[in-house]
Amino acid sequence: MRSSILLGAVLPFAQAIRIIQSNDDGWAEANARTFFDALDSAGHDVVLSAPAENQSGTGSSDATPTQVGSSGCEFSSCPGGSPPTGANATDPRLNYVNSYPVTSIKNGIDVTGPKLWNGAKPELAVSGPNVGSNVGPGGLFSGTIGAATYAAHTAKIPAIAFSGRTGDPAAWNQPTPKYSKVYADLALNLTTTLIDSGAPYLPDDVFLNVNFGEVSDSTCHDASQFKFIFTRVNTGLLSARDTEWCGATRLPWEVDVIYLRGGCYVTVSAGDASDKSTTDAARQKVVLDKLKPLISCL
């Protein structure tokens, strides 16, 4: 078993890069902010550009941002009547966009990030960790995946969508839930491994769909207990064979691993950013070779 590396154990990074982050649960949600802090502590130049409010289930919708309504941003994180886009008063790296996840990450890639990076674009895009799993057919409707696939397919930036099975939407200014910390450690571990594999981080038009299993007080309560499993987005019953791994040419289905196995698992699927399905075997192999230090067999 290859156990995952805890946050403190991966510092310092071999290299620090520019990372744009978004989600669909909103810019003030605890999972996203905890991962932001982990990336920042690891030395990366990270900018968050996420919806002003919870936009779960909005897929790849995109619309011009509008003025914030009278109730303000989620968790009272901005007042009613705020501008269509805005930043935290003390940290300009934390940004809201009053629209969909795709619109939010697009604004981060084209406007906010370059403004803070002296005109440079992000080198990697991350979305999430989402509150709740995004596996199988449900991923088609996920705003978290929508943001990642926009980055990979349209903006041509390597992208990862992270989702966690445990938890409910929580505010950034409340005590950080245990699962948020575990998911941030796991997400940082995978991000580290991918970056350390060298650029280009992913093949063209490929994104990673990553799902974390349940976190509980009795089991799966520490990042070191989780195993990373290389999976596929859809079942593959009528698809061409996958890349060879663990003695087979058919990868496990991410739905089976997350919902039926019942263990401390993280699924990593190489997805086609053009249609959110499983990518082909050749590009799977490229991804697998990059992540082999992290990946285990079931």
Residue from 60, 104, 127, 163 carrying the catalytic annotation:
163
> Residue 219 has what pLDDT?
86
- Note the pLDDT tens digit of each residue in 202-214: 999 999 999 999 9
**Greater confidence, 26 or 4?**
26
Average pLDDT, the chain: 94
> Residue 233 has what pLDDT?
97
**Global pTM value:** 0.95
- Note the pLDDT tens digit of each residue in 45-90: 999 999 999 999 999 999 999 999 999 999 999 999 999 999 999 9
Nearest to 147 by CA among 74, 53, 51, 234: 51
Is residue 22 annotated as part of the catalytic site, yes or no?
no
* Residues paired with 97 in a beta bridge: 51, 85
Average pLDDT (239-254) is: 96
d(CA 211, CA 256) in angstroms, rounded, equals 12
> Residue 236 has what pLDDT?
84
Question: Domains in the chain, please, with CATH?
Answer: 7-296 (3.40.1210.10)
> Residue 7 has what pLDDT?
41
Residues in the chain: 298
